[in-house]
Structure 1
Amino acid sequence: MKVLIVHAHPEPKSFSSALKDTAIEVFREGGHDVQVSDLYAMGFNPVASVDDFGNRANPDYCVYALEQRHGVSNGTISPDIQRELDKLMQCDLLVLNFPVFWFSTPAILKGWLDRVLVSGTVYGGTRFYDRGGLRGKRAIVSVTLGGQAHMFGNDGVHGPIEGMLRHLLQGTLGYTGLDVLAPFVGWHVPYVSNEERLALLKAWRQRLSSLEEETPLAFPSLDDFDENMYPKSS
């Protein structure tokens, strides 16, 4: 299996970085091919702009998605985007590893998604959900946060973590056709003991060793909708 780990934490000694290192170790021990995009270490540019295109389809007005298609098809998209896109298209499993910032991803990871999930290759037209360009690949998100698990129960103050991350789990990963597994969460990480952190790493290691047995999260199937995206009559 080919694995791509996209890691977004500025501190190499962080617990989030320990999750990344554990994943690398587990996958390589299992004989898998692992590539890592450590976005802060790479100095990855998160800003989607006209500078991403060496040759514009429309030099007078930038429709970013259309320029993405043109740039990929003509080989003139920014080299850093092309390198990451190649990694993505070659992988069987995508791992996104990051601390939760304001119910979302760090800006540098959002920028990776904006720039690398290119229109025409990853999605476009009716190529989304179970017809998306990344269909057949799987994804898992591993996050760290300061909140405690009970704050994210059905009756918790924030509601389930899957709801907080719906924009990513469904609106991005599921939308592009990925089979998305339930997220792994390092709860209350800044405040727990070293023993509790080691227990979290052990749980992450065990989780990674059994991913193939997991059922992905349920998202819409386009087979249930007509050409205008109205639900088909039952």
Structure 2
Amino acid sequence: MASCPFCYGTLLPTFSNGLQREKCGRCSALWFEGEALAKVMGGSATDALIARARGKHGQCKGCKEPLEYVPQCSKCGHAAPTCPHCGTAPLSVAVVHGIEVDVCPDCRGVALDKGELEHLQQEAEQERDGGLDLKPKLEPQNLQKPQCMTCKRKLKLEHAFVYDTRLYCGSCAPQGSAPYSVELARASPSLQPTVGTYLQGGGGWTAADPISYAIGWLFSSMLD
């Protein structure tokens, strides 16, 4: 089993109707594999987060000292946040809406300590309580020259899928995509992108659990 990026406790797989993740049994930190994030959140959003994190310093979880190219903090001796997959240390810190997110630019994985997760959920819940329309909508301008957001292949609308107000082909459509319909085309765009708001589970469309919703909100904000 993999070790927690922050305290080296054991990461345990956590399954739900939402985004797959691993949780530390010691400090309750969460680790999201890059492949799972890209599959559910879409390549554009994950690329935006990686671009924001690349080249940034890490941060000591013990004393908050900036860390760069070191396996442990020279000030307090605390081990640097480390990728449980490839061992990169320290993880880079990307700041999104005031939330510090630890990211591995190589594996594209994301780690959140307990405090970061609580902050993220509070921000996401405020957006949800603000009355956002949580149904996937299609931006009208995407109908002018329909093409897949990922591979740029030209599309026939009857074969297209909609996710986060964008069109995808069947091969590139992220998990949770909805088949194109006239209703989606007629709907006005959401106030915010709807990445991660609804996920495709074994029993069909289900509302995302609170953590998946929060992660979806974080990634959707990367595309604003």
TM-score (norm 2): 0.29
Greater fraction of residues in helix: 1
Greater fraction of residues in strand: 2
Q: Which has the higher contact order (CA 8 A, sep 6+)?
A: 1
